[in-house]
Amino acid sequence: MKRIISIIIILSFLLAAGEEWQKAFDASFLMNLNNYSDNWAGEEASSFNWVINGNGNFQKQIYSYLNSSNRVKLSFGQTSSKMKSDSLWGDPTKSSDVIDLESIEKITLNWLVDPFAGLRVESQFIDESDTLKACYVNPLRITESFGIARVIYKNMNAEISSRIGAAFKQSLNRNFITDTLNMSRGSDMTNDGGVEFVSDAIIPFKENATYTGRFSLYKALFYSEANSLVGLPNENDWKMVDAAFDNILSVKIGEYFTMNLNIQVLYDKEVDLKTRIKETLGIGINYKFL
């Protein structure tokens, strides 16, 4: 079933090649610098932050019965700091690193709901979890899904939609230490599957502001490593519902400047027992490619 879903999505791209798409892709460069002289009163630290963001949506009604919707989210940034007593800036560390590509193919027959098949790939540009060896585009999280979807609201520029269905996920780590004595590395893959609910919203406000949001819930029903966790304190963590709420508010200031506010709320008991929150606010240069 997972292979069939992937083949359907790839074929839809080939069949739609060269056709007109409803497309939008915005890129922004945000930078912030705080610099203090060495005689500044207080213990403030100088800091330099930068981040590049790219957000795109590509949609087309390929046929009267087939709709293709594709989403791209890219982000990479670093931060560096310097105390007053330091003569040099510290090594830059990652502040943002996201690769998120998704394609949803819906069968549109004017039914109450639309059957869909989806493929999503999540990763990061640089994996620095192993201090001895960095690995690019690692780990990989691949999700195949199918079920039913419905557009709740839609006009020329705004759309709110939801979908629910089965999801199968593979997590691939290509920099897995297989032998701690010799520090040899290989690949490690885990699989899980369950039920997923996703709700997406794109809402423009006037002509210079756009809200993009996603709320998702995922309940795993099976996990390939479940047997190895039996008897451990965290043996049932994979059974808990994962929740994610991603909100982006983009406000254009003039023709080339933008303000981005991104608030992300995540809950995954396998990662942490508490809810994780990330807030990013920046003003920088924006360019609309499409």
For the chain, give the percent of residues with pLDDT over 70.
88
CA 221 – CA 166 distance, rounded (Å) = 10
Q: Are 129 and 139 in contact (CB under 8 A)?
A: no
For residue 240, pLDDT over 90 is answered with yes
CA 228 – CA 188 distance, rounded (Å) = 15
Distance set, CA 289 to CA 54, 88, 256, 260, 286 (Å):
10, 38, 12, 17, 10
Q: What is the pLDDT of residues 20-41, one digit of tens each?
A: 788 878 788 888 777 777 766 6
Q: Are 28 and 52 in contact (CB under 8 A)?
A: yes
Considering its fold, how many domains does the chain have in total?
A: 1
CATH number at residue 174: 2.40.230
How high is the pLDDT of residue 221?
97
Residue range of the domain that includes 25: 2-288
Q: What is the pLDDT of residues 65-96, one digit of tens each?
A: 999 999 999 999 999 988 777 778 888 889 89
* Of 1-10, 183-192, 219-228, 257-266, minimum mean pLDDT range: 1-10
Query: Cβ contacts of residue 266 below 8 Å, gap of 6+?
Result: 243, 244, 245, 275, 276, 277, 278
How high is the pLDDT of residue 33?
79
Q: Which helix (H) or strand (E) holds 13?
A: helix 2-15
* 22 bridge partner residues: 59
Q: What is the pLDDT of residues 181-230, one digit of tens each?
A: 676 788 889 999 999 999 999 998 877 888 999 999 999 999 999 999 99
* 155 bridge partner residues: none
In the 8-state DSSP scheme, what is residue 130? S
How high is the pLDDT of residue 17?
52
- Beta strand residue intervals within 22-139, DSSP E: 22-34, 46-63, 66-82, 93-107, 114-123, 126-127, 135-136
Written as one letter, the residue type at 48 is: F
Q: Which helix (H) or strand (E) holds 264?
A: strand 257-267
Q: Are 215 and 175 in contact (CB under 8 A)?
A: no
Written as one letter, the residue type at 41 is: A
In the 8-state DSSP scheme, what is residue 88? S
Average pLDDT over residues 261-269: 92
How high is the pLDDT of residue 213?
93
Written as one letter, the residue type at 11 is: L
Distance set, CA 281 to CA 16, 51, 209 (Å):
37, 11, 15
In the 8-state DSSP scheme, what is residue 90? P
